Structure 1
Amino acid sequence: MTTHTWGLLAILVLSIVALIALINSRLRLHPFLALTLVSLAAAVAAGEPAEKIAESLETGAGSILGDVGVTLAFGAMLGRLLSDSGATDRIARLIVDRAGPRSLPWYMAGAAFVIGIPMFFEVGLIVLLPLIFSVAQRLRDDHGVKGSPYVALATPAIAALCTLHGMVPPHPGPLIGVSGLHANLGLTIGVGLVCAIPTVILAGPVYGRWIAPRLDVRPDRTLVAQFTGERAADAGTPADTTEPARPRRGVPTGWAVAAVLVPVVLMLLNTVADLVPALPEGLRHTLALTGSPVVAMFFGLLFALFVVALPSGVGGEAIRGSLGESLRSVAGILLIIAGGGAFNQVLEDSGIGKAVESAASGAHLNVLVLGWLLALLLSFSTGSATVGIVAATGVLAPMAATQSSLTTSLLVVAIGAGSVGLNYVNHAGFWLVKESFGMTLGQATKSHTVIQTLVSVCGLLMTLLLSLLA
């Protein structure tokens, strides 16, 4: 490699160190501001023409928001509608109520897996807390579950939710990877699900069976009463809403499941259309339109609104308040995504991305391992899985352009798997789990941190296994 290439690599390393320092220093700079500042400094240091730096920042931020931002907003609204209408509760109880004591953790993993398709980790866990607490109370004196029933049920729920959140579109992390690496969306969903199923099994019910007898976890009684009482669902409604969160009429189970799966099915149909050349041209164009992420998520939102939420008895005013609240909750994520897009564009326009490609090619590093490791270290260091994904995607985008379609999709999954590992005290999800279940710091580490790290490692191993087919 040339001296110039080494210089660009040094700028990248210093940029990442600066990003970590700005987010974790006493300043506690917001990741969006830190990403913007680092992007600007990297562009100047790499010698990008001054008149093009602002264009790089604007193009990168605008491009990623156009690809992912609107889809993320629709996804947040969809998840809130499903929660407020009782659709997710219906799915969860349908799965869990038919299980015996020994099989309950497996059924809980199944419920969390389905619910985790459209919902963020934190939202999905809050939705599942009433179910986890109420079922755990039934199991407290049952000898079929050894150790803490709360840990036995929470472990598979955490494993399923974080696996879907990190590795499978239409979650924002994988969508960022699909957009930045130009991966095939349907193929990424397919391989993501293939990687997710054994990952959830190992990190969920299997690990839960081992760790539950070793942790004496007892959530606060007041919190348990709040989540298992008649108005437990009120925890997810806006404070100014006077209507009860629990719907006046039950949601039919079939419609509840359909509302969760509509966006994913539309995206997968688009991929199937690409693989079947005999399809009529008009049908192919229609599936291409409805299978694009933003349109698929929008149709899923409309389906949930008119087929599930309104017929269930949730009032229009309550729906509008819930949708507005759901958008406020993802505003920070949107800004981080924009900052990550700007950083990625600077890496490309300044030539740093090409330098990384040259160095990795010369070192013969496995691109899946490299993507996983970058996302893991950045997520652990900054406390943000999104930062880990956007930065790793930007660094590896030039390398992905030379890979096969399957490898590129597997790279998206590997990066997402890396982003959920080593989830510790600088992650919001860690504290949500710790406080919700009344855990000590050590108990939260042995449960939540280890679960997500198992998900991360298993996800990487599955991508490496599937890469043998590429």
Structure 2
Amino acid sequence: MTGHTWTLLIILAAAIAALITLINSRLRFHPFIALMAVSVGVALAAGQPVEKIAESLETGAGGILGDVGVTLAFGAMLGRLLSASGATDRIARLIVDRASTRSLPWYVAGAAFVIGIPMFFEIGLIVLLPLIFSVAQRLERTHKINGSPYVYLAAPAIGALATLHGMVAPHPGPLVAVEGLHANLGMSIAVGLVCAIPTIIIAGPVYGRWIAPRLDVRPDPELIARFTGNGSPSNGIASDGDPSIASPSDGAPQISGEHDSLRTSAETDAPQGPRENTVRTGWALAAVLVPVVLMLLRTIAELVYDESSQVRHVLAFTGEPVIAMFAGFLFALFALGYRSGLSPDAIRSSLTDSLKAVAGILLIIAGGGAFNQVLEDSGIGQAVESAASGMHINVIVLGWLLALLLSFSTGSATVGIVAATGILAALAQGGGSLHTSLLVVAIGAGSVGLNYVNHAGFWLVKESFGMTLGQATKSHTAIQTIVSVCGLLMALLLSTLA
């Protein structure tokens, strides 16, 4: 490598250190501000012409928002419709109600898997809490399990939600990686699902069955009563991952991160106890699966039909992420929203709140796009490619490690994904479709590992279930780290076929 290449790599290392410092220092920069500041600094340090810097920032931010932002907005509205109409509760109870004691964790994992396809981790957990609490109460009364029934059921829910959130598009993190690495979307979804299933099994029901007897966990009785039908949850819990939910005695840091903007969403989504609804289970399941099926059909069409086929053209159009999510949203709007008895005004208000909830994540994604574009325009991407090829580093392992370290250091899985994607974009362009999709999975898996006190989801789980710091570490942090490691191992295993 030349001296200039080493200079660019040093600039990259300094940029990562600066990003971590700005987010975690007493200044508590919002990740979007930190990403933009670091992007400008990198461009100047790398010698990019000053008249081109603004263009790089605008191109990067605008490009990623055009690819992912609208899709994310439709996804947020779809998730809100599923929750507000009672569809998610219907799906969860249908899956769990007929299960035996031994099979309950597997059914909870199945419910979380279906619900987690369109929902963020925190929102999915809030939606599932009434189900987990009510079923755990039943198990507690019958004394049919050894240990905490709450951990017994929470572990598979956390494992499934974390896996989908990090590894499977159309979640925003994996979708950012798909766009940034120019991966095949349908292939990435299919590979993500293949990697997700064994990961969920190991991190959820299997680990949950082992750890439940070792933790004496029971949520606050008042909170249990409110989530199971005797009132609404307090604002302290329904903040959807805002770390300020922790009591002062816990020493919870006041973190400003990607999930702070989800507070409004969770407060609205937090169940007010079981509600009667007219939504049929088939419609509910269809609303969840429509976007994913359309995206997968696009990939199948590209493999089966030639470029002149009309079927291929139609499925390619309907399988575009923005079109697929729009179709899923419209389906849910009419099949679930208006049919559930909600008034048009209530639906409109709920959808407006759902868009407010993702504004912060959209800004982080935009900042990540700007950062990635600067890395490309300044030549740092090529420097990383040269260094990696010279050292013969496995790109999948490198992507996982970068996302893991960035996520752990900044407290933001989204920052971990967008930054790792920008750093490795030049390496992925030469890879095949399967290899690039596996890199998407590996980066996503890395972003959910070591989820500890600087992550908002850690405090949501800790306070929701009344855990000590040690108990939350042995459950939530351990589960998400198992998800991360299993996701990497599955990606490496499948890479032998690439």
Q: Which TM-score band (shorter chain)?
A: over 0.9
Contact 2:226 2:273 in 1 (8 A): no
- Determine the structure 2 residue equivalent to 1:93: 93
CA distance in 2, matches of 1:72, 1:275: 27
Which one is further off, 174-183 or 303-312?
A: 303-312
Aligned pair partner of 2:436 in 408, 416, 419: 408
CA distance in 2, matches of 1:36, 1:416: 22
- Determine the structure 2 residue equivalent to 1:292: 320
Amino acid at match of 2:358: V
Please report how far the alpha carbon of residue 278 of structure 1 lies from its aligned counterpart in structure 2 after TM superposition.
5.6
1:339-372 CA-to-partner distances (Å, cap 9, x unmatched) read 0000000000000010000000000000000000
Residues 184, 119 of structure 1: alpha-carbon distance in 2 compared, 3 angstrom cutoff? same
1:235-276 CA-to-partner distances (Å, cap 9, x unmatched) read 7989899xx897653211111110100000000010110011
Which one is further off, 390-399 or 135-144?
A: 135-144
Q: How does 1:17-416 map to 2 (within 5 A)?
A: 17-229=17-229, 249-277=277-305, 281-416=309-444
Contact 2:11 2:46 in 1 (8 A): yes
1:283-315 CA-to-partner distances (Å, cap 9, x unmatched) read 211111110001100110111110112111111
- 3-state secondary structure, aligned to 2:79: helix
CA distance in 2, matches of 1:79, 1:212: 30
1:208-251 CA-to-partner distances (Å, cap 9, x unmatched) read 0010001011101111011101655997989899xx89765321
1:29-75 CA-to-partner distances (Å, cap 9, x unmatched) read 11101000000000000001111011000000000000000111110
Please report how far the alpha carbon of residue 282 of structure 1 lies from its aligned counterpart in structure 2 after TM superposition.
2.2
* Structure 1 portions without partners, runs of 5+: none
1:401-454 CA-to-partner distances (Å, cap 9, x unmatched) read 111110000000000000000001111100100010011111111100000000
Contact 2:306 2:312 in 1 (8 A): no
CA distance in 1, matches of 2:105, 2:277: 29
Contact 1:92 1:111 in 2 (8 A): yes
**C-alpha RMSD of matched pairs (Å):** 1.8
Aligned pair partner of 2:462 in 400, 410, 434: 434
Please report how far the alpha carbon of residue 143 of structure 1 lies from its aligned counterpart in structure 2 after TM superposition.
3.8
CA distance in 1, matches of 2:266, 2:383: 49
CA distance in 2, matches of 1:284, 1:231: 51
Please report how far the alpha carbon of residue 318 of structure 1 lies from its aligned counterpart in structure 2 after TM superposition.
1.2
Residues 237, 415 of structure 1: alpha-carbon distance in 2 compared, 3 angstrom cutoff? closer
Please report how far the alpha carbon of residue 281 of structure 1 lies from its aligned counterpart in structure 2 after TM superposition.
2.3
CA distance in 2, matches of 1:260, 1:337: 24
Contact 2:228 2:273 in 1 (8 A): no
CA distance in 2, matches of 1:274, 1:369: 29
CA distance in 1, matches of 2:161, 2:326: 22
1:172-192 CA-to-partner distances (Å, cap 9, x unmatched) read 000000000000000000000
Aligned positions, number? 469
Amino acid at match of 1:157: A
- Determine the structure 2 residue equivalent to 1:16: 16
Contact 1:376 1:418 in 2 (8 A): yes
- 3-state secondary structure, aligned to 1:323: helix
Which one is further off, 317-326 or 408-417?
A: 317-326
Indicate yes or no: 2:31 matched with 1:3: no
CA distance in 1, matches of 2:267, 2:26: 33
1:109-138 CA-to-partner distances (Å, cap 9, x unmatched) read 010001100110001000000000000000
Please report how far the alpha carbon of residue 96 of structure 1 lies from its aligned counterpart in structure 2 after TM superposition.
0.3
CA distance in 2, matches of 1:88, 1:172: 20
Please report how far the alpha carbon of residue 24 of structure 1 lies from its aligned counterpart in structure 2 after TM superposition.
0.3
CA distance in 2, matches of 1:167, 1:238: 22
Contact 2:265 2:357 in 1 (8 A): no
- 3-state secondary structure, aligned to 2:59: helix
Please report how far the alpha carbon of residue 146 of structure 1 lies from its aligned counterpart in structure 2 after TM superposition.
1.3
Please report how far the alpha carbon of residue 280 of structure 1 lies from its aligned counterpart in structure 2 after TM superposition.
7.0
Give the TM-score taking structure 1 as reference length.
0.97
Amino acid at match of 2:497: L
Please report how far the alpha carbon of residue 12 of structure 1 lies from its aligned counterpart in structure 2 after TM superposition.
0.1
Please report how far the alpha carbon of residue 142 of structure 1 lies from its aligned counterpart in structure 2 after TM superposition.
3.0
Amino acid at match of 2:105: P
- 3-state secondary structure, aligned to 2:385: helix
CA distance in 2, matches of 1:330, 1:451: 25
CA distance in 2, matches of 1:238, 1:206: 29
Contact 2:85 2:277 in 1 (8 A): no
Contact 1:248 1:312 in 2 (8 A): no
* Structure 2 portions without partners, runs of 5+: 239-263
CA distance in 2, matches of 1:213, 1:155: 12
CA distance in 2, matches of 1:240, 1:369: 39
- 3-state secondary structure, aligned to 1:141: helix
Please report how far the alpha carbon of residue 144 of structure 1 lies from its aligned counterpart in structure 2 after TM superposition.
3.1
Contact 1:8 1:352 in 2 (8 A): yes
Amino acid at match of 1:272: I
CA distance in 2, matches of 1:140, 1:423: 29
- 3-state secondary structure, aligned to 2:358: helix
- 3-state secondary structure, aligned to 1:140: helix
- 3-state secondary structure, aligned to 2:142: coil
